[in-house]
Amino acid sequence: MSTMLEVKGLTHSYAEKKHAHVAVADLGFTVEAGQLACIVGPSGCGKSTLLRCIAGLIKPTGGSVRLHDDEVDGVPEDLAVVFQDYSRSLFPWLSVRQNVEFPLRWRGLDRAERRARAKEALGWVGLSGVDDKFPWQLSGGMQQRVSIARALASRPALLLMDEPFASVDAQTRFELEDLLRRVQRELGSTVLVVTHDIDESVYLGDRVLVLSKSPASIVADLPVGLPAERDQITTRESAEFVSLRGEVARLLHGGTPGESAEELAGRDLAEAEAAEEHAGTRAKETL
Ligand SMILES: Nc1ncnc2c1ncn2[C@@H]1O[C@H](COP(=O)(O)OP(=O)(O)OP(=O)(O)O)[C@@H](O)[C@H]1O
């Protein structure tokens, strides 16, 4: 396998009035071609900042991002992004087919090729036959499928997904997770999904990268040993799934790799006791 994405020493600080706010600190990982990697992190830790740096939407203040060995400097042509909010990423005045074809215009594809690519991509996501409808005539799940088809139609080297299923109901979310895994395997795509949902990261991923609290850095890089064929019921009940989701939850809660729940609970208790003692001492000092 060849390396598709290499993130090295990535740091990003937002300039604030008096001091800089560090959102991502010295973060590094690689994603191999054909892999589906998930990044999971606590709320506000810097996930979107990381994703924007990888997509070339913002220039990191330190470190580098390389896509198949080319330094990312601006949005790479062969990268596609699927955002959480499908209602804002699809054009309501364009039909489904025109939405999928839209980015292909900038790649210089002629009309016949654009149409063929859109038809093919809509087939991949199970939406053949709705080409002439408008996004607002479709359910939320179908609209997100259109966004996925649009991203895949350009045959990107890397597909980035930012909380892609966070805006749909639980049943649709399961369907879209299965759809993504099926299409990714059929096409051999390289996909990086950013999510805050622990179960989703384990169910979807070949790997789960766990981020620390802000500023984001990598706490653990966990291989997912689940079978390639996954099922929403049996996979989620399997011992491997339950154990891995427990490990990710512990790491997100501040544990270290391999630390048991009892050790973490013990450490939490010791920290709480120390904080209580400190507060008591301060209160006495004040009196
Ligand atoms: N344009 C900006 N200017 C200044 N600070 C920002 C900017 N964008 C994000 N931040 C700050 O950087 C930190 C990380 O934000 P970011 O949106 O990357 O986190 P996140 O993990 O994606 O959040 P969420 O879980 O809410 O989606 C936050 O403290 C946020 O306030």
| Predicted ipTM beyond 0.85 | yes
Amino acid at 23: A
Nearest CA-CA partner of 134 in 96, 103, 86? 96
Mean pLDDT, residues 256-260 taken together: 65
Mean pLDDT, residues 140-168 taken together: 93
Mean pLDDT, residues 85-92 taken together: 89
Give distance in angstroms: CA of 43 to centre of ligand 1: 9
Rounded CA-CA distance 184/31 in Å is 14
For atom 8 of ligand 1, the residue with the nearest CA is 49
The residues near 109 (Cβ < 8 Å, ≥ 6 apart) are 117
| Residue 150 tokens, joined | 């649009």
Q: How many CB atoms lie within 10 A of CB 258?
A: 10
Kind and range of the H or E run holding 55: none
% of the chain with per-residue pLDDT over 70: 89
What DSSP character marks residue 226? S
| Residue 37 tokens, joined | 């990697």
Nearest CA-CA partner of 191 in 221, 140, 148? 148
Nearest CA-CA partner of 210 in 42, 4, 12, 33? 42
Banded pLDDT at 274 (limits 50, 70, 90)? low
For atom 24 of ligand 1, the residue with the nearest CA is 44
Give distance in angstroms: CA of 68 to centre of ligand 1: 27
| Residue 215 tokens, joined | 């500023």
Give distance in angstroms: CA of 48 to centre of ligand 1: 7
- Hey, is 236 helix, strand or coil? helix
Res 260: pLDDT: 61
Banded pLDDT at 153 (limits 50, 70, 90)? very high
Instruction: Please determine, for residue 30, whether its predicted confidence score (pLDDT) is greater than 80.
Output: yes
Cα 6-204-182 angle, rounded to 5 deg: 100
Among 19, 40, 49, say which to mutate for ligand 1: greatest number of ligand atoms within 8 Å of CB. 49
Cα→Cα distances 65→6, 10, 27, 56, 146, Å: 6, 8, 10, 9, 28
The residues near 34 (Cβ < 8 Å, ≥ 6 apart) are 1, 188, 189, 190
Q: How many CB atoms lie within 10 A of CB 236?
A: 16
Rounded CA-CA distance 37/22 in Å is 24
Give distance in angstroms: CA of 263 to centre of ligand 1: 31
Instruction: Please determine, for residue 20, whether its predicted confidence score (pLDDT) is greater than 50.
Output: yes
Res 193: pLDDT: 97
Instruction: Please determine, for residue 280, whether its predicted confidence score (pLDDT) is greater than 70.
Output: no
Mean pLDDT, residues 3-24 taken together: 92
Give distance in angstroms: CA of 216 to centre of ligand 1: 10
**pLDDT tens digits for 100-139?**
999 998 888 999 999 999 999 999 999 998 999 999 999 9
Rounded CA-CA distance 200/204 in Å is 6
For atom 14 of ligand 1, the residue with the nearest CA is 46
For atom 7 of ligand 1, the residue with the nearest CA is 14
Res 264: pLDDT: 59
Mean pLDDT, residues 79-86 taken together: 90
Instruction: Please determine, for residue 268, whether its predicted confidence score (pLDDT) is greater than 80.
Output: no
**pLDDT tens digits for 33-53?**
999 999 999 989 999 999 999
For 273-283, b/e burial (b = at least 16 CB within 10 A) is eeeeeeeeeee
Res 287: pLDDT: 47
Nearest atom in ligand 1 to the alpha carbon of residue 49 is 18
| Structure-token match 């998930």, residue found | 38
Compute the residue count for the chain.
287
Res 286: pLDDT: 46
Contact 191, 185 (CB under 8 A): no
The reply to whether the predicted model has a pTM over 0.80 is yes
Cα 19-22-23 angle, rounded to 5 deg: 140
Res 18: pLDDT: 77
For atom 2 of ligand 1, the residue with the nearest CA is 14
Give distance in angstroms: CA of 45 to centre of ligand 1: 7
**Terminal C-alpha separation, the chain:** 66
Res 261: pLDDT: 56
Mean pLDDT of all residues belonging to the chain? 90
For atom 9 of ligand 1, the residue with the nearest CA is 49
Which residues have any ligand 1 atom within 6 Å of their CB?
14, 21, 23, 41, 43-49, 196, 214
Res 263: pLDDT: 65
Mean pLDDT, residues 193-221 taken together: 96
Helices (H), 55-126: 86-89, 96-105, 111-124
For atom 17 of ligand 1, the residue with the nearest CA is 48
Rounded CA-CA distance 204/241 in Å is 11
Banded pLDDT at 221 (limits 50, 70, 90)? very high
Res 69: pLDDT: 86
